Structure 1
Amino acid sequence: MRVVVIGDVGVVGGMMHVGDEAMFDAMVEALRARGVERIVGISNAPAETADRYGIEAIGGLAFPGSREDLSIRSAAVLAAADGRATIAADDPALAVIEAVASADGVVVAGGGNLTSNWPHRIFERTILGTLAERFGTPLVVSGQTLGPRLDPVDRATVGALLRSARLVGVREHPSAGVAADLGVPTGRLAANRDDATFLGADEHEPADGAADLLLVSLSVHLGGLPRGATISGLARSIDALADRTGLEPAFHPHFGSLVPGTLAGDQVLHDAVRTELRSPSVVLPTGDPRSAARLARGAGMLVTSRYHPAVFAGPAGVPIAALPVDSYTGVKLRGATGWWAQDGVIDLATAWTPAGGDALARVWASRETVRASADRDRRAARAAMSAWFNRVAGEIAR
């Protein structure tokens, strides 16, 4: 079998996004384990992705910025696919068209991009789904957050994409509600944990020494809060938590540079917070998804405004203080922690105030209950994720 998989992957300019790579990695691993011999990844950096995963890889559809440009580009790609028009011989869309036409299936790997926050991602996945439909290629959409912001045009577009899929997997119950409202039949809709929840869980024990770490992963996105005051306030809250727990703060960027000596993405914010700390702290390299998962699973506690640290830490029973900055990050972080009966979601707007230290400490105080809950639910959760990937592979092979 030959399956085309799209994810927001590919290290460009030395920048690694751990979460996006993790979901793609998990899907590649799951398909291989279920007999898919050839995987073609759609990537922002095809050569890098091909080397990283040992697969074939091609570039994306190269969508431009404005909505008008997106519409024009979409029409051009579809016209080329139908033979009604031609596009340049070096247009990356030609490789995508050919890959979908010759594939046994198309999979939209997990992500949080079916939202009006990023219309170009909606267009790209919609055109891919339309190509699959025109060529009679089975389509599966897996592990998605839907919305919560969907403008009317995007809502209609996402609805059409999802209704054309043989299976639709979402990673939060609110997203399942959106999918149902968009007309996805109940029998084709499943609400699961994130696709990367158990990525690499059978490969290694948690990272050595991680149990002594207060793992901190902060997104550079502060939701409009005042930067200086937020940085200082977070430092105070982390100091207070370090005093309470006896754990050493360790900053791990999930969107950062792989180039030694270069600070970019989350690393810039981490560096600013660390300069305000009175507690000793360490910086950990961004690394790769599997090493990031090991680290989160072994931590003593996690403080994060990034999503995937919470995804990785949850099944290990690590107490998670999740710091959303808006409705989008709130849906994701409540979803990731809620699967494991954790309720340590604290708005960033609270975490940096004088009340922040006590709020974080309450999460630490729940650690025994959190661990017991994860131990109770982990086996069933793994079985459910395996069953989902069985369905994905089964629909492609049907």
Structure 2
Amino acid sequence: MILRHNGRSCHPVDSSLGGGARMRIVAIGDVGVVDGMMHIGDEAMFEAMVDALRDRGVDEVTAISAAPEDTAARYDVVAIGRIGFTGTRARMHERLEAVRSAASGTPTLSGGDPAAAVVDAVAGADAVVIAGGGNLASNWPSHVFERAALGAIAERLGRPLVVSGQTLGPWLDAPDRALVAELLRSARLTGVREPASLALAGELGVPTERLAGNRDDAGFLGVGDPRSGAGAGLDLDTGGGTAEPYVLVSLSLHLGGLPREETVRGLASTLDRVADRVGAPVRFHPHFGSLDPAVEAGDEVLHAAVRDAMRSPAELLQPGDARSAAKLARGAAMLVTSRYHPAVFATAAGVPVAALSADDYTAVKLRGATGWWDQDGVIPLGLAASDEGGDALGRIWDRRASTRSAALALRERAMEESAAWFDRVASALRG
């Protein structure tokens, strides 16, 4: 089923890039609110890409989504379902081959197969974009197969492909490594978010001239956009945000194997000490949570447990949307997060970030997000939840003046580089 929301885009169109011809793209992101659950970061990267391409003359976007109706309404796009990969690896390989054959003209798919709708959408489009994410890792083989299949469709139909804003691996087993290598080598342009991903892309054979290392695509989401509020919180001259400072906390349920009860108690104690040191209350913001205030799910479950173990007052917030999440992170006095995108949003505004890594995957991403802004506050989650946690996070707060100065020095060039990247994406899509 193809769905379209008949709203009106408020994005300006740069007709100079359009050449007078309508530009239609197919874009995939890990988007779509399912069972009321919002994942802020995944939505943010897709929204940033759609915004940027509309600004550069793209007229129509067909989104591939887990929840087409939600995505169509949220972004004023055409939306279709995913190809869909489930079951064993052997079964996913069989489906991938069927999709490849269908894109080459062999009738291997039934008319009701969602993959057939994706093939038709790419055939009717001018280009294909794989929007940002950490999906190209063996942690999530179905995502690897979904993107490999979309890349194969684009290649067989002769449509330009861009892969943007990715974290690669760090865990890629041999079969997935081959799929990712084939995908990236078929792209006209590939953007990755961390030095580790850049090195891995080189190992996979991606040509240097078609490879770029960039900040996350959503780093400046909403900045300067009236829909996000004045400045979207990116005013580095206001001393950290609002007149009532707060410590923002975003914690994933993923604890990397640490014992839950002990970790909850340890984090509560650490956050109490941080609140005392900063002189501001804690606000918990879920980046994966329910849009229904009556339902506690995802990050909200851990947030409630930690809040209940604290002695200091703390507030539990709802997820909201990507733009409001970005503004909230940029306005904090300090951020404590084991989630990735709170760090992406906050670092651009010079907010000191204590980034809590639960495993190699989260460490790679968090070092990338903070490193672009000369921050080095990535701390193992176990350390943050230990007796030394308060001092470790306190040292990050104590460096706040130099942190903000570094962000101020980097910001203008970073925004220029972000715009230049999206210019390259638009140019590559036009061939």
TM-score (norm 2): 0.91
Are 1:107 and 2:116 matched, yes or no? no
Look up the match of 1:35: 57
What SS is found at the alignment partner of 2:100? helix
Q: Is the CA contact (8 Å cut-off) linking 1:211 and 1:298 kept in structure 2? A: no
| Higher alpha-carbon deviation: 63-72 or 310-319 | 63-72
Look up the match of 1:263: 296
Look up the match of 1:129: 151
| Higher alpha-carbon deviation: 99-108 or 368-377 | 99-108
Deviation of residue 209 (structure 1)?
Answer: 4.0
- Tell me which amino acid in the other structure corresponds to 1:274: R
Q: Is the CA contact (8 Å cut-off) linking 2:44 and 2:323 kept in structure 1? A: yes
**RMSD over aligned Cα atoms:** 1.1
- Relative to structure 1, the CA distance from residue 28 to residue 342 in structure 2 (aligned partners, 3 Å threshold; closer, same or farther) is same
Q: Is the CA contact (8 Å cut-off) linking 1:211 and 1:300 kept in structure 2? A: no
Look up the match of 1:377: 410
Look up the match of 2:72: 50
The aligned runs of 1:198-277 (5 Å cut-off) are 198-203=220-225, 204-205=229-230, 206=232, 209=242, 212-277=245-310
Say which of 124, 130, 154 aligns to 2:176: 154
Taking the aligned partners of 1:30 and 1:88, their CA distance within structure 2 comes to 35
Q: Is the CA contact (8 Å cut-off) linking 2:104 and 2:157 kept in structure 1? A: no
Say which of 15, 22, 27 aligns to 2:37: 15
Q: Is the CA contact (8 Å cut-off) linking 1:139 and 1:167 kept in structure 2? A: yes
Are 1:189 and 2:242 matched, yes or no? no
- Tell me which amino acid in the other structure corresponds to 1:186: T
Taking the aligned partners of 2:270 and 2:328, their CA distance within structure 1 comes to 22
TM-score (norm 1): 0.98
What SS is found at the alignment partner of 1:238? helix
Taking the aligned partners of 1:377 and 1:258, their CA distance within structure 2 comes to 35
Deviation of residue 89 (structure 1)?
Answer: 1.9
Taking the aligned partners of 1:65 and 1:315, their CA distance within structure 2 comes to 40
Q: Is the CA contact (8 Å cut-off) linking 2:356 and 2:378 kept in structure 1? A: yes
Are 1:293 and 2:330 matched, yes or no? no
Q: Is the CA contact (8 Å cut-off) linking 2:99 and 2:153 kept in structure 1? A: no
Deviation of residue 251 (structure 1)?
Answer: 0.2
Look up the match of 1:304: 337
- Tell me which amino acid in the other structure corresponds to 2:313: P
User: Could you give the per-residue CA deviations for residues 2-36 of structure 1, whole angstroms, max 9, x where no partner exists?
Assistant: 00000000000000000000000000000000000
Taking the aligned partners of 2:119 and 2:286, their CA distance within structure 1 comes to 36
Deviation of residue 211 (structure 1)?
Answer: 5.4
Look up the match of 1:5: 27
User: Could you give the per-residue CA deviations for residues 134-154 of structure 1, whole angstroms, max 9, x where no partner exists?
Assistant: 000000000000000010111
Structure 2 residue runs of 5 or longer lacking an equivalent are 1-22, 234-240
Q: Is the CA contact (8 Å cut-off) linking 1:210 and 1:298 kept in structure 2? A: no
Taking the aligned partners of 1:341 and 1:78, their CA distance within structure 2 comes to 43
Moved over 6 A (4+): none
- Tell me which amino acid in the other structure corresponds to 1:388: W
Q: Is the CA contact (8 Å cut-off) linking 1:114 and 1:144 kept in structure 2? A: yes
- Tell me which amino acid in the other structure corresponds to 1:219: S
Look up the match of 1:280: 313
Taking the aligned partners of 1:338 and 1:151, their CA distance within structure 2 comes to 27
Q: Is the CA contact (8 Å cut-off) linking 1:210 and 1:299 kept in structure 2? A: no
What SS is found at the alignment partner of 1:323? strand
What SS is found at the alignment partner of 1:212? coil
Look up the match of 2:83: 61
Taking the aligned partners of 1:6 and 1:146, their CA distance within structure 2 comes to 17
Q: Is the CA contact (8 Å cut-off) linking 1:211 and 1:299 kept in structure 2? A: no
What SS is found at the alignment partner of 2:102? helix
Q: Is the CA contact (8 Å cut-off) linking 1:2 and 1:38 kept in structure 2? A: yes
User: Could you give the per-residue CA deviations for residues 98-151 of structure 1, whole angstroms, max 9, x where no partner exists?
Assistant: 111121110000000100100111111001001101000000000000000010
- Tell me which amino acid in the other structure corresponds to 1:84: T
Deviation of residue 46 (structure 1)?
Answer: 0.5
- Tell me which amino acid in the other structure corresponds to 1:123: F
Taking the aligned partners of 1:58 and 1:109, their CA distance within structure 2 comes to 15
Deviation of residue 210 (structure 1)?
Answer: 7.5
Look up the match of 1:315: 348
Are 1:25 and 2:47 matched, yes or no? yes
User: Could you give the per-residue CA deviations for residues 34-81 of structure 1, whole angstroms, max 9, x where no partner exists?
Assistant: 000011000000111010000111101011132111111112222222
Q: Is the CA contact (8 Å cut-off) linking 1:141 and 1:167 kept in structure 2? A: yes
Taking the aligned partners of 1:305 and 1:52, their CA distance within structure 2 comes to 27
Are 1:389 and 2:422 matched, yes or no? yes
- Relative to structure 1, the CA distance from residue 59 to residue 214 in structure 2 (aligned partners, 3 Å threshold; closer, same or farther) is same
Q: Is the CA contact (8 Å cut-off) linking 2:68 and 2:81 kept in structure 1? A: yes
Taking the aligned partners of 2:132 and 2:190, their CA distance within structure 1 comes to 10
Taking the aligned partners of 1:194 and 1:369, their CA distance within structure 2 comes to 22
Look up the match of 2:19: none
Taking the aligned partners of 2:284 and 2:106, their CA distance within structure 1 comes to 53
Deviation of residue 84 (structure 1)?
Answer: 2.4
Look up the match of 2:188: 166
